[in-house]
Amino acid sequence: MEVLLSIGLGLVLVALAAIFLLKPYFDWRASCDQALESQVARTSFQCSPGELIPPAWKAPEVILSVVVPAYNEEYRIPQMLDETLTYLEGRGASSSFSYEIIVVDDGSGDNTYAAALSASQAVSLRHGDVKILQLVANRGKGFAVRAGMLVARGQLLLMADADGATSIRDLERLEQALGPKDTAPHIAFGSRHHLRQEALAKRAWYRNILMVGFHFAVWLLVGGAIHDTQCGFKLFKANVAKRIFASMHIYRWAFDIEVLILSQLFGKGVAEVPVTWVEMPGSKLNLLTGALTMLRDMVLVRVLYGAGVWQPSVA
């Protein structure tokens, strides 16, 4: 009897481990055949059915799209939007620069949608506009960024975190790093690598261990060309962004790793650009569970692409 109980317990543990390891795959399978519009609860703008995502052949309508994923950010996003709009309106006043900001509320449980809408209406906009999408449920940061990137109508697409940890003015550094229209690099990753020694000195020892371990895992699974894959400030040329995010399978914290892997598969160059960065209070990432799930997702994305189970978009 004891042997049977041990075997049964072992099988249960194996099953639970398999479910945990394969959860990103099951999440992707559950939604891969669903249109993005079915995942959107409401928008702040009018959009006819079937027109939320612009067709690939359509020319960009603005110079820059800023995609802001937001989950329970009602207290931080007003300041971020105010600073971003002030900067972008300033650029528009002195040139032909045009823009849109796309805030993707990832099924927040607070008043993120209303806070973003109020902040966008508090500023007189002459050179761009703010669009807000609210997802029907929390799907993860990667899914929210993917939604915003597919909806975007800019020549350049910027991902920017809702906490405003990186100054929007550093956009100019990323723009300078990108090559002309059809030449590399096609993507610019904002990077905090130059701040590494300062971070190691200030952070608790367990945070340093997790950070060093994560960087080693990235180097092992992806390669060491990019030191900081997780900074939430990235700029893409539109055609590359559309192809990468149409191919996205990882919907939570490790989606940046899949972006890097897909850029390699597509042969698109990535530049790493130092940016200013301030650690903001209110992070939604739990260090322990975040480290475990990100490690799982990194291994899974490498294995499934390597085995041909996941394929990049051919469009």
pLDDT of 79-105, one tens digit each?
Answer: 999 999 999 999 998 888 999 999 999
Please give the Cα distance from 250 to 143 (Å, whole number).
8
**Least-confidence region, from 87-91, 162-166, 280-284:** 280-284
Kindly list the distances between the CA atom of residue 41 and the CA atoms of 50, 74, 99, in Å, as whole numbers in the listed order. Answer: 15, 18, 24
Domains and CATH numbers, the chain: 20-306 (3.90.550.10)
Mean pLDDT, the chain, rounded, equals 88
Percent of the chain with pLDDT over 70: 91
**Least-confidence region, from 9-13, 79-83, 210-214, 298-302:** 210-214
Alpha-carbon 157 to chain mean position = 11
227: confidence class by pLDDT, cuts 50, 70, 90: confident
Alpha-carbon 107 to chain mean position = 15
pTM: 0.91
Reading the block at residue 311, the tokens are 């394929």
209, pLDDT greater than 80: no
Q: Are 68 and 104 a contacting pair, CB within 8 Å? A: yes
